[in-house]
Amino acid sequence: MNANAVWLELGAIAHNLARFTARIGAITQTVITTPKLRRCYFQIAGHITRSARKVILHLEEHWHYKDKFLEALDRIRKFEIAIT
């Protein structure tokens, strides 16, 4: 398999993961484009810390998409995958 085919496959996987995340997170009721999804939800205004064996996500207080992001994250965490 050549390098171009590998990059094509990686791009397709990334696109499908973004679509899947947007769908199970129910981020919006309308169709959201991949660049907007990336800009608004994947480029997070915050940082991750670890304390007492817990991973903590600190988000900026005035981040425009904070509430929607937290709702989607909660919905994704409740999503159960049947592994067979």
Alpha helices in 1-84 (DSSP H): 3-25, 34-37, 66-78
- State residue 77's pLDDT score: 81
pLDDT at 83 over 70: no
Q: Is the pLDDT of residue 82 over 70?
A: no
Q: Which tokens in the block code for residue 9?
A: 């496959």
pTM: 0.63
pLDDT at 29 exceeding the cut of 70: no
Higher pLDDT, 15 or 41: 15
Task: Give the domain ranges of the chain.
Answer: 3-78
Q: Is the pLDDT of residue 1 over 80?
A: no
